[in-house]
Amino acid sequence: MKRILIFAHDFPPYNSVGAFRPYSWYKYLPEAGVHPIIVTRHWDNIQNNPLDYVISSNAQEISVVTEGNATIIRVPYKSNLRDRILLNYGNTKYVLVRKILSFLALVLAYPVSLFDNKWSLYKAANNYLKSNTVDVILASGEPFILFKYARLLAKKYKVPYLLDYRDGWTSKDDNLKASGLNRILNNYWFRFFEKKYLRDAKLVITSNPFEQEKLKHLVSSIQTATVFNGYIEEEIEEVKQVQQKSDKFRIAFAGTIYAYHRLEDFLEGFSIFMQRNPEANTEIHFLGIEYQPEQVQRIKNYNSAINKYIHTTPRLPKRMLFTQLAESNLLLVLTNPANRLLPAKIYEYLALERKVLVSVNDESDLQMIVNETNAGYNCSDAKEIALSLEQAYFEFKQTGKVSSTATNYKSYSRKNQAFNLAKLLERL
């Protein structure tokens, strides 16, 4: 059985797309004949707020747990000085001091481990490898400092290493738009280290194909492959029998809203739809968005005339979230062709077999998936959004639901994507 050591800073119980990607490998790779060894931090002090990243873990000992053909190494996390200032004095005090400490850690962590508050992950992995062999090392970023650890240990123990990009690093669209000092750091300082790690990697994996062209522009000799994110089959099966509600035309969104998302295009399209169909009995549910109060305000500030149709919730347990999505008639995806990132929620939307509406067409990987699976409406502007809403609403009025035409989506399950990773490992 092939053994792979995986650096994954984010890992359950921490709740993020970045955590569930390596978790799926931990869960499914053994079925494909691969023993994963996950190196992560202790996430035992979860408060479900942005401070989860900086709070010290309760556990202060390294734990190594093997169940079947999978191992997890959990490493204690201790808040650094900047984090302790934030935790003790809040977000409004000692701002300049925290900015200076953040800058030093950001810039110096790569060449000087003293400034790296995740270095304990490297040390734990190194101790494990002193008495255990592996066939390959993989680092899943971000944080991209994990790429450094993979390279160092691969050289030390003479095994190949793989780099996994959930999103881009210095070639990420929004980083390319940086200005001033941030632009200099991105294009010269961090890119120096990124190229260094890329050159020696046996294989570079991305969660969306679009990133590969940009990475090859940095280092043309790299070998690349795609392992998508995806949906967990068992979670979908739990709500597979849930039917769409027919009392109101429900549109739902789940996930994080980012500043670059073309949210306003959707809200404008919905406004046009309501002007044309004032009798429409409809609701928009932004599920879990109260975790982002600034985005709730952004929604409410757009057009007060539609606020009565808008509902928001705090973060929901996953089963409840999927139930509410399954009860909805149309599922919303937000994106932006100027920031081409593949929203992970698209996979769960597909598996729930609910028609999707994209605001707006990213003209990239999401467009490919929507077209390939016949998932729904890929809209370019507010007018197209309004027309798509009308089409879905008229079907809802006649039948009490909006039928899904999604096909060919099962390859995007987390399990099948883990099997794809296993096949890549076989070829090394």
Domain of 327, CATH number, reads: 3.40.50.2000
Alpha-carbon distance 402 to 408, whole Å? 19
Domain boundary among 111, 127, 156: 111
Q: Are residues 171 and 213 in the same domain?
A: yes
pLDDT given at position 57:
85
Helix (H) or strand (E) holding 147, with range, is helix 145-157
pLDDT given at position 223:
96
- Provide the residue range defining the domain that includes 83: 79-111
pLDDT given at position 55:
85
In the numeric block, the tokens 């522009």 are attached to: 217
Q: Are residues 30 and 132 in the same domain?
A: yes
Percent share of the chain, pLDDT over 70 = 99
Q: Are residues 158 and 254 in the same domain?
A: no
pLDDT given at position 47:
64
Q: Would you state the structure tokens that stand for residue 232, as one six-digit string?
A: 């967990």
Q: Are residues 368 and 225 in the same domain?
A: no
Task: Show Cβ contacts of residue 380 under 8 Å, excluding neighbours closer than 6 positions.
Answer: 360, 361
Q: Are residues 37 and 153 in the same domain?
A: yes
Q: Are residues 256 and 321 in the same domain?
A: yes
Q: Are residues 156 and 284 in the same domain?
A: no
In this prediction, the residues of the chain whose per-residue pLDDT falls under 70 are: 45, 47-50
Q: Are residues 336 and 400 in the same domain?
A: yes
How many structural domains is the chain composed of? 3
Q: Are residues 106 and 136 in the same domain?
A: no
pLDDT given at position 83:
83
- Residue 283 DSSP class: E
Rg (CA), the chain: 23
Q: Are residues 265 and 388 in the same domain?
A: yes
Q: Are residues 59 and 198 in the same domain?
A: yes
Q: Are residues 215 and 323 in the same domain?
A: no
pLDDT given at position 218:
96
Residues β-bridged to residue 249? 282
